[in-house]
Amino acid sequence: MDHTDTFTRALADEGFEPPVTVTREPDGRLDDHTHPFEAKALILSGEIRIVTAGSDRLYGVGDVFHLRAHEPHSEFYGTAGVSYLVGRKPVLP
């Protein structure tokens, strides 16, 4: 079993929706924003830097990042862009 299978199984066990692959452009960015869902992602290629109130971290191939629902953050994509497998968990009212 490879990393993606293990990651996908863990997402399901934790109540996340089936994952989707997201690809972002080289040297791109998304300024401060939030999502109405919890997100957990496995980096498949490239790299992404995520900045939150308490963290500034670079994630590369094989790394997993986790964002809480409504957590303000910025995203910065590496020179080769980034591709990641992400599961989303809706916030219950």
In tens, the pLDDT along 34-85 reads 999 999 999 999 999 999 999 999 999 999 999 999 999 999 999 999 999 9
**pLDDT for the residue numbered 93:** 63
pLDDT band at 32 (very low <50, low <70, confident <90, very high): very high
18: region left, alpha or beta (phi > 0 left; psi from -120 to 50 alpha): beta
Q: How many residues does the chain have?
A: 93
The pLDDT, as a whole number, for residue 2 is 77
User: C-alpha angle 81/85/87, rounded to 5°?
Assistant: 135
Question: What is the per-residue pLDDT for 91?
Answer: 85
**What are the extents of the domains in the chain?**
3-90
CATH number of 3-90: 2.60.120.10
pTM beyond cutoff 0.75: yes
DSSP 18: P
CA distance linking residue 91 with residue 62, whole number of Å: 26
